[in-house]
Chain A
Amino acid sequence: MPSDAKSFKVVGHSVAKVDAYGMACGREQYVADYDTRDSLIGYIVPSPHAHARIKRIDASKARAMAGVHTVLTWEDLPRNIHTTAGQGFVEPSPYDSYILDNKVRFVGDRVALIAAETREIAEAAGKALEIEWEVLPAVLDADKAMDPGAPVIHDEPEAHATIPVPYDPSKNMAAAVAMGVGDMEEVLRKSHLSYSQTYSTHYAQHCPIEPHVCLGYLDPRDRLVLVSSTQVPFHARRITAQALGIPVRQVRVVKPRIGGGFGAKQEVLLEQMVGALVLKSRRKILLQLTRAEEFVSRTRHPIKTTMDGGFNADGTVNGMRMKVLSNTGAYGSHALTVMSNCGSKVLPLYRMTTVAFDGKAVYTNLPVGGAYRGYGATQSAFAMEVFLDEVAEKLKIDPLELRRRNHIQPGESSPVFAALGEGKPGVEQRIGSSGMAECLERGAKAINWVEKRGKPGNGPIKRGIGMCALMQGSSIPEIDMASVAMKMNDDGSFNLNAGATDLGTGSDTVLAQIAAEVLGVETEDMVVVSSDTDLTPFDVGAYASSTTYLSGEAARKAALDVAMQIREVAADMFNELERVEPRPDPAKLVLKEKRVFEPGGKSFTLAQVALRSLYERDQHQIAATASAISHKSPPPFSAHFAEVEVDTETGQVKVKKYVAAIDCGTAINPKLAEGQVEGAVVNGLSYVLTEEYLFDENGRMRNPNFADYKLFGVPDMPEMVTIMVPTYEESGPYGAKSVSEICINGPGPAISNAIYDAVGVRMRDMPFTAEKVLAAIKAKRG
């Protein structure tokens, strides 16, 4: 396998995204852009209470209102328990959700479903529901969720875990995981330095600019068609069928263009609601969340992490223990797996023989956690990397040097890989490719680490720099599967039908590039369709940093199969038409420049091959379907460096410069890969500095809008430096690993550490709002 990216013709080049011109010209269709003229508007009546039972619900007045077509309450629907987490079957998230229940568990939870002619009418109908509530005491503090006597949030007898993992809803425990290798207590007792500290991360929303939206209707054969803004069309099909109690064959999920997801749409949130309304009303239903509703749809799990570690004087890590308490909110969506990833995507970064992880996820009456870019690693990398900064200070070692001495190297393994999986033991793996060392060096140089560190300057505004090291994974090993179907067309172009879900990431383009590389054609010779459960083969969907690595491998395999079929036809053609004797060995034919070459230099165009196979001799469709599963989850590595200014009089932190150096193996499309890095970094910057959920005393979010929940805009941007450090991952297509998630994990620790360098205060609780930083500065002054 070539290890020099420059030898590739298509891979490694920043070709234009296949859908970019359509998008830039406003032509691409998102869900709400489909023909919705004859649609009813779907509406989910939100709960005003954090925790309450519906003792009686009377929809007769609402149903009688002009313009109201359908009102569904829990009494009208099958009670099929399921999880909304868009994960593979059988899902590792607990089954604790119904389409509608006789109980609500957070402010904004589902009370009833309405289909009406306008949103205004639907909202009015919602207000016309007569509901007798039994308001229950609520759990609004994750620390108290498991206290004896705490209100039980999931007291329904059907709630259960579908896999053998600890689950105890009577104690509000949604999930638990523990692992340990070696004697941690002894390490802590005997090490030169033993240190313990606790860190916490806060709620956040993905804020795709397109909120969740789903359009549903019955096709001419009465099948339920759902055009949905989803990252997981196949899981959406399966879970919708399960929740509605109808066969999978009755459901078709179509994924058009998606206006961003970041994990929010790895959730089956609207499809079963729309399905229920469509089946009842037999009308076309458009359900789109408002921004306010989006904020309480799915969120990032807030997590409190306690780190314990034992270290030698030279910084060697003897052992570390990570304890996490995850707040999964009212439902256990992704509770177990996000929590597990706190350990599995962070602890293996450092070489250690003794290691322990202990995680619990608890139910509260607050918004529901879910999959969010970084998926637990964001939360615990913050803990790990600030912890190490503190340890470095105590040991009087440069924090950069501490990472250099301890980070995992190619050929090495970590006991964590085998111990921590997703709802089952993990998969042992050795690190193949790693550019960590180079990331650290090049990043440090770009930020001017040696020169700038420890020089806060005079005046009220202090400067500081901080850094962190990161890893993630590429797919879920021995669990994820992706497949791609390809066929050849008359002109030598190809259809590439992928179950993989491009949600704006550019994966359609990346798959096309990989297939084009195999077939010796250009990206534009690939006509990509993704994804439609009727038309494209299965793929688990866009999550776990898997698409390039896994779906890319499926594309490569399908293309290799197609290429072999082309060679077979071409071999006949050389023999028959060009009188090459004997018939050339198909394996020796070369596909390049949209032609097939035989060793003597004679060639046919791919169009000639296609025309022959379709119309002339031994007619058949050149086509293939290939699947890929992963046996390992090779981590991408990254080092981040932040330079900040801290205004000691207002507490405001401004990031002046941010450097992200990343090893994602081969960047199949460097510009798209950089875009993933930059997008993740800025999402992270915004998360740790200005984004914040503000709740009232009843658990209602007070700022569910972009006026009061502040995302970074262009003028908030620091100078950004993105450094791609190429490596070659032998297990990935053309050497690729993942890139999409890892970089959101950096800003929390890098900025916290930079703040410490500037003003000497440790920010261990996100977010670092001006008010909190000022309070910390004042507390330090005493």
Chain B
Amino acid sequence: MSNAYHQPTRLDEALKLVAKGATPVAGATGLYSLRSLPEGELVDVTRLGLSGISLESGRVWIGAATTLTQIGDAKQLPGCEGALLRRAAKAVGSRPMRNMITLGGNLAHSAYWEDMPPVLLAVEAMVEVQRAGEPAQLFSMADCLKPGKRPWDGGLITRFAIPLPEGIRSFGYERFSKTVNDYSLCTSVCVLRREGQAVRDVRLVLGAVQPRPYRVPEAEKLVEGKAFAPLLLDELAAKVREVAQVGPNFRASNEYRRELTGTLSRRAVETAFNWAMRET
């Protein structure tokens, strides 16, 4: 294969190149982890019109090439989901990095520390994938995070759909790192809905402790339908520590990061609780 850097402006052109085995290049920051771009055919996906944020049929649509800066600054992102996406996007690296990193690239690269996938999982985002000559397909984040072949292999992530459910909703977001612009060593995201004095539809996601983020249903169940109580939070923290899957990471011990999963989840859930109850 000859070396080339393609910069198509039409999606179908890009899809054809990807189908032939070319490597998609979005923000490119992840690809440089090997010190240089791979040899061979490269397809730049930043000129395909895949960036931008729109509201359509009760969902927010975010183009795959939308940069994290654009998401972080997107005042038009509505509701709890929008605020959470902004918050997580702003936690990533530095501003120049966020000017480069795209939402699609962040998911496709999926290093363990990536900040957007846990949030996309927590808000139950759908991922639109296109392949040359095929209609667009939507995948759930759960599908996207399964081990093995990724839904977008051989094609491109084109956009994300963020559902905007009804009700009084709030979130908690906790991220632990050594310095402010460091990678996360543990992230905990909670999204929930208030119903009277109780909370419903609790989703608790752990990020950065395993190669891919995951929900903690055992802990979600503990608080589902309950009202706020400090003891409940202690119980939650203990449960998260008990069930959390924590993979090896030379930067901090597994025991310590397991400790963090409980501490940060407690704080994330408490924050979400408090914000939900503040609503009248």
Contact = CB atoms under 8 A, between A and B. Distances in A.
Q: Is chain B a partner of chain A in the same complex?
A: yes
Contacts of B260: 650
A90 interface: no
A781 to B, nearest CB: 13
A712 B181 CA distance: 9
Nearest to B257: A771
CB-CB nearest 9 A-B residue pairs: A715-B180, A771-B256, A710-B178, A649-B263, A710-B179, A690-B178, A716-B179, A702-B250, A710-B182
Given A694-B251, A702-B250, A771-B252, A707 B178 contact: no
A713 B182 CA distance: 10
A708 B251 contact: yes
A197 to B, nearest CB: 26
Interface string B233-273: 00000000000000000111100100110011000000000
Contacts of A711: 179
Given A652-B176, A771-B256, A715 B250 contact: no
Given A708-B251, A774-B259, A690 B179 contact: yes
B139 interface: no
Contacts of A702: 250
A713 B250 contact: no
Query: Could you say which of B178, B183, B250 has the most chain A C-beta atoms within 10 Å of its C-beta?
Result: B178
Contacts, number: 42
B179 A703 contact: no
Interface in B158-176: 176
A769 B182 CA distance: 14
Interface string A709-735: 011110110000000000000000000
Contact of B181 (A652, A713, A774): A713
Interface in A3-36: none
B176 A650 contact: yes
Nearest to B177: A710
Contact of A703 (B180, B251, B259): B251
Nearest to A290: B35
Interface in B78-96: 94
B252 A713 contact: no
A703 B251 CA distance: 8
Interface in A523-555: none
B105 to A, nearest CB: 17
B259 A715 contact: no
Interface residues of A, number: 21
Given A694-B250, A713-B181, 18 more contacts: A650-B263, A652-B176, A690-B182, A696-B250, A702-B250, A703-B250, A707-B183, A710-B178, A711-B179, A715-B179, A715-B180, A716-B179, A716-B180, A770-B176, A770-B178, A770-B256, A771-B253, A771-B256
Given A649-B263, A774-B256, A712 B250 contact: no
B113 to A, nearest CB: 9
Q: A652, A696, A771: which has the most chain B beta carbons within 10 Å?
A: A771
A775 B259 CA distance: 11
B252 to A, nearest CB: 5
A643 to B, nearest CB: 19
29 contacts: A650-B260, A650-B263, A652-B176, A690-B178, A690-B179, A694-B250, A694-B251, A696-B250, A702-B250, A703-B250, A707-B183, A708-B251, A710-B179, A710-B182, A712-B179, A713-B94, A713-B179, A713-B180, A713-B181, A769-B252, A770-B176, A770-B178, A770-B256, A771-B252, A771-B253, A771-B256, A774-B256, A774-B259, A775-B256
A709 to B, nearest CB: 10
B263 to A, nearest CB: 5
B141 to A, nearest CB: 26
> Which of A649, A690, A713: most chain B Cβ within 10 A?
A649
Contacts of B181: 713, 715
Chain A CB within 10 A, most for which of B176, B252, B259, B264? B259
Nearest to B266: A649
Interface of A: 649-650, 652, 690, 694, 696, 702-703, 707-708, 710-713, 715-716, 769-771, 774-775
Nearest to A651: B256
Contacts of A713: 94, 179-181
A774 B250 CA distance: 18
A81 B251 CA distance: 38
Nearest to B260: A650
Contacts of B180: 713, 715-716
A703 to B, nearest CB: 7
A446 to B, nearest CB: 25
Contacts of A708: 251
B258 to A, nearest CB: 12
Nearest to B180: A715
Interface in B167-223: 176, 178-183
A50 B259 CA distance: 34
Contacts of B259: 774
A712 B177 CA distance: 12
A498 B249 CA distance: 50
Contacts of B251: 694, 703, 708
Nearest to A647: B263
B204 to A, nearest CB: 17
B191 to A, nearest CB: 22
A710 B251 CA distance: 11
A649 B180 CA distance: 18
Contacts of B94: 713
A190 B162 CA distance: 75
Contacts of A696: 250
A769 B179 CA distance: 11
Nearest to B94: A713
Contacts of A694: 250-251
A703 B252 CA distance: 12
Contacts of B256: 770-771, 774-775
A694 B182 CA distance: 16
Contacts of B182: 690, 710
B94 to A, nearest CB: 8
Contacts of A774: 256, 259
Contacts of A775: 256
Nearest to A120: B36
Nearest to A695: B250
Contacts of A690: 178-179, 182
A716 B176 CA distance: 14
Nearest to A689: B178
Interface string B140-158: 0000000000000000000
Contacts of B264: 650
Contacts of A770: 176, 178, 256
A770 B181 CA distance: 16
Which of A710, A769, A774 is most buried by chain B, counting CB atoms within 10 A of its CB? A710
A111 B41 CA distance: 36
A716 B256 CA distance: 22
Nearest to B113: A707
A304 to B, nearest CB: 23
Nearest to A686: B179
A716 B180 CA distance: 6
A707 B181 CA distance: 9
A322 B165 CA distance: 67
A236 B179 CA distance: 37
Contacts of A771: 252-253, 256
Nearest to A715: B180
Contacts of A707: 183
A687 to B, nearest CB: 13
Nearest to B262: A649
A506 B260 CA distance: 44
Contacts of A712: 179
B93 to A, nearest CB: 10
A213 B181 CA distance: 28
Nearest to A713: B181
Contacts of B252: 769, 771
A712 to B, nearest CB: 6
A708 B179 CA distance: 10
B27 to A, nearest CB: 16
Nearest to B267: A649
